[in-house]
């Protein structure tokens, strides 16, 4: 009798060309955060045609959706799809492959199991690069009752899990007083000078931050004319911390630095978070181990991440602190390269990208089958999740 895993692989292989067509369609027409209308329509339509019930406009986001199938009673598995692109670079993070792999996993598993006991969800998650669609979906309860949230990410390493930091953005504005720099210079309070001093202060702060934490900023408003002392200056700052707790501590330290600079320069300062925070990613080794086992059938072996290397931040972190989750990296280029580059964008539409997408779709579907059909997998995943939560990891 054919095993569930064999049926999954057969169904995924039967859809290989179709999945690659979807991936290339997304790649040809990249859409940035919250603008992924064509991508959401394409993916939701593919799922609807194969019997999924689709809810569009999820969590108040026009380009978010959830497709459901199953009896409803029993375990629930969510397969996550990202599909936003980067400004100017297109799919240089390979989200077209994430979307087609999640789609392929959902279609192959439904075809292999029919109407599964429990629920299978395929969740469209926009704006991972900027804004955080998953943050809104978590807040809206999309993942309530889910036993496993599964996705993969193309990368430059074959790693079983993703060392992803917590992150946030701060908008920091200094208020001074306008004046003519020659006619009445003593009446002016230079807001831009305060902002520049703040950047200098961050340079000192950065040297003593723990591994995984840093601050990067840009000037978004530096004044309007060279013959007017700027009365307002503003910067946008990206903060990262190795853990969500480390991020919270860094945010407070940056706030104190800004207030100190304001006091020293006779300006006033406003500090506001811009968008939601991304929490650090919490891997569930029960599920990531299952994914690695299934992926090995395709000849790809995953290893543990290199200690001390962090690969950015993602809103999957917010999901992973609510339910058991995975976010493995599977290489589509060599480790001498990097994502967010034109080379990586080309790889996301190349032959290695296709092979990795299909292999990951099969492994995601088989891992989802483990959760739906094997009670002990779900129980062990939740037990490990509880242990990590209790330890604050």
Instruction: Spell out the domain ranges in the chain.
Output: 4-163+281-391, 166-273
196 contacts: CB under 8 Å, gap ≥ 6:
none
> Quick check: 140 and 319 in contact, CB under 8 A?
no
Neighbouring CB atoms inside 10 A of 255's CB total: 14
- State residue 2's pLDDT score: 67
For residue 230, what are its two tokens? 């700027």
**Which pLDDT score, from 0 to 100, does residue 176 have?**
97
Topology adopted by domain 166-273? Alpha-Beta Plaits (3.30.70)
Q: pLDDT value at position 393?
A: 74
Question: Per residue of the chain (393 residues), what is the pLDDT tens digit?
Answer: 469 999 999 999 999 999 999 999 999 999 999 999 999 999 999 999 999 999 999 999 999 999 999 887 889 999 999 999 999 999 999 999 999 999 999 999 999 998 778 999 999 999 999 889 999 999 999 999 999 999 999 999 999 999 999 999 999 999 999 999 888 888 999 999 999 999 999 999 988 898 889 999 999 999 999 999 999 999 999 999 999 999 999 999 999 999 999 999 999 999 999 988 999 999 999 999 999 999 999 999 999 998 878 888 999 999 999 999 999 999 999 999 999 999 999 999 999 999 999 999 999 999 999 999 999 999 999 999 999 988 877
Identify the pLDDT of residue 1. 45
Residue 253 and residue 170 in contact, taking contact as beta carbons nearer than 8 Å: no
CB atoms inside a 10 Å sphere around CB 306? 10
d(CA 140, CA 136): 6
CA distance 266 to 260: 10
Query: How confident is the model at residue 153, as a pLDDT?
Result: 98
CATH no. for 4-163+281-391: 3.40.630.10
The pair of structure tokens assigned to 70 is 């199953």
């Amino acid at each position: 009798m054919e095993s569930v895993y064999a049926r999954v692989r057969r169904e995924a292989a039967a859809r290989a060309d179709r999945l690659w067509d979807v991936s290339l369609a997304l790649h040809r027409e990249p859409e940035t955060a919250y603008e992924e209308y064509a991508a959401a329509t394409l993916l939701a339509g593919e799922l609807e045609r194969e019997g999924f019930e689709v809810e569009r406009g999820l969590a108040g986001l026009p380009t978010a959706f959830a497709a459901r199938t199953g009896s409803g009673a029993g375990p629930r598995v969510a397969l996550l799809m990202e599909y936003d692109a980067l400004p100017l670079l297109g799919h240089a993070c390979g989200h077209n492959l994430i979307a087609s792999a999640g789609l392929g996993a959902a279609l192959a598993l439904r075809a292999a199991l029919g109407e599964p006991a429990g629920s299978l969800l395929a969740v469209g998650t926009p704006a991972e690069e900027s804004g955080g669609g998953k943050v809104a979906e978590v807040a809206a309860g999309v993942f309530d009752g889910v036993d496993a949230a599964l996705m993969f990410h193309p990368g430059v390493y074959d790693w079983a899990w993703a060392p992803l930091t917590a992150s946030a953005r701060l908008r920091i504005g200094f208020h001074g007083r306008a004046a003519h720099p020659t006619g009445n210079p003593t009446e002016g309070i230079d807001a831009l000078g305060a902002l520049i001093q703040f950047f200098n202060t961050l340079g000192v702060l950065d040297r003593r931050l723990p591994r995984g934490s840093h601050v990067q900023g840009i000037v978004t408003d530096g004044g309007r004319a060279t013959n007017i002392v700027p009365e307002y200056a503003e910067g946008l700052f990206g903060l990262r911390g190795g853990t969500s707790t480390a991020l919270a501590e860094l945010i407070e330290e940056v706030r104190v630095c800004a207030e100190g600079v304001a006091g020293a320069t006779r300006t006033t300062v406003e500090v506001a978070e811009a968008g939601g925070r991304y929490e650090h990613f919490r891997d569930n080794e029960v599920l990531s181990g299952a994914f690695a086992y299934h992926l090995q059938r395709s000849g790809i072996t995953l290893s543990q991440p290199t200690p001390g290397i962090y690969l950015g931040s993602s809103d999957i972190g917010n999901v992973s602190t609510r339910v058991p989750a995975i976010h493995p990296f599977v290489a589509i280029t060599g480790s001498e390269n990097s994502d967010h580059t034109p080379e990586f964008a080309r790889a996301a539409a190349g032959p290695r990208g296709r092979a990795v997408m299909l292999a990951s779709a099969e492994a995601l579907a088989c891992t989802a089958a483990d959760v739906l059909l094997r009670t002990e997998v779900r129980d062990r995943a939740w037990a490990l999740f509880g242990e990590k939560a209790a330890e604050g990891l």
